[in-house]
Structure 1
């Protein structure tokens, strides 16, 4: 096959990180233009993909490469700086080459001695792409091994630390260590406490602004997304994100660094909560009905203190009562009214609060109890989480990666079997980690949102029945109400032995 007569060409340039100056877009263009000039070719177009990984994005999935193929401009060659600028996998390179050949052109590289306009050059390019894929895989393995080694010896692998943490020189050798930022970690602990107590991300953002907490980047205001990112970060449980790179949707990977059994590597010195409690918090944040997901609605300041708690008992099944304004225009009064039978109950707040404090004021506030598991149960839970992740990944995995996944799943199954023979230990922990009663938490509450949450932890609902005409005293009004209390204000009532063990833990 004789060489194709080349008169015109286009340049294709790509870079994964815009800050990588060694292979910057400008340097690739400069090299490509110099190459074209040396061969007497005219450059008729330049196509770019910036901030795009060739490992995680096929050429046909990149905007710049698609624009090149869709261009109406005629050209005889596509000039790339090196083969790996175009593709890291052999199959991707071959597919890209076929697409270029369909336009009557060939691929040439500045730094690699390939010229796809000849049969010999095409064969050599395929071999070069094979070796490039092997080197890319080896590079990933080296990077993963290096990162895991740094974490196993307690070293910081790099990157911008999470708010509340900072990197410091390693006193025992080279590199850096990650430690708590004592000036900010207290704010992070309070973010976690508020989230575990059921407060919304939006209200936590407002609290940070009210107390004047410094922002991570020195801006004047806190952003909802910033607060959410902090309380969702696995470092709160001592786990370090693996960050395998951008996916096709340009979202950073959310896996964490794991040991040889596939279980998370946990640094207890960095954790401010157990892994199981962190996962429980993430599950609550992910609930579709949770106010965390709808911050706009939380801006409303007129929600009643008893909203959602007052129910009309004059029906076969209780019906929720809604706030209403009764009385006259000059003397309105707040009431809750049934929309079906129109029964109403005026100004119930003080009456219900007084009964709540009488019945539950001295009870320990344990509503947000999370199961804190140790030993085998932690391994069992983490192994199950990882198996689910691997099961989703294997569907679209390459043959090589599929083999790795099967091996890891086999090890995790063995870990699960061992963990099943280790009994879990369960502890009951108070809301926010502090031992306080409902009355103490009520007194400390500063907003209606906090008060509504405390009531909701102790009280399921208040059933309202009709009274007799003229019943106006508090005792007669209270007789119309039936309180459905949650068991001791807890999700599940612990036994005497469990409470005794818990008491010994918090007092010790």
Structure 2
């Protein structure tokens, strides 16, 4: 009695006309009539016919290595729509095992038929061409839907919603739209605000993982957005690269992205980038309600530009850039000698031939200890506040940010090849006029101070170089260092250091919280 393996596949498990259950029922009846014993039933659920299928490969391997004698599938197009490539694999196995049998039920195609290879090749090629036609139609449909600028015509094309959104049914129409997910939107704003404030990507990533925020592709997120039980479901792990992409994604502004080939590598493979879907003039289309405001998003992108390849090197000390030579006015750099750790600040002119300045140097440990003592003695007991700004008055800050982002979008569109200047320039002029009108309205900036619950001394101890530089930056302009007047105890830092403080104008527009 011949051993039989059944292979079942559907592109979607909801396709009832050729469901896995129906396929298995029909194929088992066939095996029973032929007197074959079914030794395995292998299924690929939800895979397209143009993709390699793990279970299909396993079924063919069972024939090749003798674990089964007959392979039965519903139809050749269910086996694969990869054309002659798939047929070549079948023929190759039959050449090695001429006693084996391949059966495709719907077409009535069997490998013991005359001209099996020719018939299989024709059917497979027709299936491949049909698959390509279907793919082209889908791409055309997607392009059309994404190009719509009328809110009534916009709909979500499916897949996992971008972070900050969830998909809901369109009211009074078919399909779905994206709406802001308050839970994820709150975290999105925290990420952007933290990055603008100076938080590291490492810290932002850790925050998401510590709080158990589900990743966009996780089972936990899918269940949460559907209102289904989430107990025991995995939430995924956030990576720094994922957080970086999220911070730079225009989907946070309610836009949709699509793959764009921007070039090719040396091996011929395409270079793919994700760009915001734009209208005919190259202006990004606003499809959904933004998760964050345009002003905050723009600040994040500006910080990424500053962090680019031309960004300054990481400071060696929180005093870097603050110390100046009293003799020539040059900056004192933190450096080392003979590969030892940074041990002193030295005048930049000291090592330059032809300079008249003999140079000034001071021990890094001595100057840091002294300045730290002076600063914390003055402000260490004060409460730490986080300061934010808001515009109060007739001017709409959100509208102003949106106009600024729209101006940036038009400027980018103008720089593209084939730009329609006749339409873009008047639009740019109109946006600039709107900005001028908004800025001409009387308004004032209100600074909001919110207590963090720490003293400045605690913030100093817990902070690194950027945090300490931030504390100093609001009060200290520079520190002038004079040459040593003696050695050892005779050379005291208080005799060599002069502080240049920043004098702030009186500002009553503060609102304290906490």
- Answer yes or no: same fold by TM over 0.5: yes
Q: SS state of the match for residue 224, structure 1?
A: coil
Contact 2:333 2:345 in 1 (8 A): no
1:235 maps to 251
Does residue 1:110 correspond to 2:105, yes or no? yes
Closer, same or farther: CA 50–211 of 1 in aligned 2, 3 Å: closer
1:306 maps to 318
Contact 1:237 1:266 in 2 (8 A): no
Structure 1 alignment gaps of length 5 or more: 1-5, 245-252, 291-302, 325-334, 357-362, 366-370, 384-412, 428-433, 486-508
2:286 maps to 267
Bigger relative contact order, structure 1 or 2, given CA contacts below 8 A and separation 6+?
Answer: 1
Say which one has the larger Rg: 2
Query: C-alpha separation between the residues in 2 aligned to 1:87 and 1:474?
Result: 80
1:299-338 correspondence runs (5 A): 306=318, 318-319=334-335, 337-338=343-344
Structure 2 alignment gaps of length 5 or more: 216-220, 225-229, 261-271, 347-361, 380-386, 390-403, 436-443, 503-514
1:139 maps to 134
Query: C-alpha separation between the residues in 2 aligned to 1:170 and 1:147?
Result: 17
Does residue 1:89 correspond to 2:82, yes or no? yes
Does residue 1:344 correspond to 2:365, yes or no? yes
1:28 to partner: Cα distance: 4.4
2:463 maps to 448
2:354 maps to none
Does residue 1:125 correspond to 2:120, yes or no? yes
Q: SS state of the match for residue 255, structure 2?
A: coil
Closer, same or farther: CA 264–417 of 1 in aligned 2, 3 Å: closer
1:478 maps to 497
Closer, same or farther: CA 258–107 of 1 in aligned 2, 3 Å: farther
Query: C-alpha separation between the residues in 2 aligned to 1:52 and 1:264?
Result: 36
Contact 1:351 1:478 in 2 (8 A): no
Query: C-alpha separation between the residues in 2 aligned to 1:460 and 1:37?
Result: 90
Out of 378, 397, 413, the position equivalent to 1:379 is: 413
Query: C-alpha separation between the residues in 2 aligned to 1:17 and 1:460?
Result: 66
Closer, same or farther: CA 318–195 of 1 in aligned 2, 3 Å: closer
Q: SS state of the match for residue 12, structure 1?
A: strand
Equivalent pairs, count: 399
After superposing the two structures, state which structure 1 stretch, 100-109 or 468-477, moved more. Answer: 468-477
1:156 to partner: Cα distance: 2.8
Contact 1:380 1:419 in 2 (8 A): no
1:178 maps to 178
RMSD: 6.1
Closer, same or farther: CA 131–165 of 1 in aligned 2, 3 Å: same
Does residue 1:41 correspond to 2:45, yes or no? no
2:188 maps to 188
**Cα offsets for 1:353-388 (capped at 9, x unmatched):** 8999xxxxxx999xxxxx96535432367x6xxxxx
2:92 maps to 99
Query: C-alpha separation between the residues in 1 aligned to 2:478 and 2:420?
Result: 41
**Cα offsets for 1:29-69 (capped at 9, x unmatched):** 444333322223344445555665442x346xx47516743
- TM-score, with structure 2 as normaliser: 0.54
Contact 2:323 2:331 in 1 (8 A): no
1:236 to partner: Cα distance: 0.8
Closer, same or farther: CA 239–26 of 1 in aligned 2, 3 Å: same
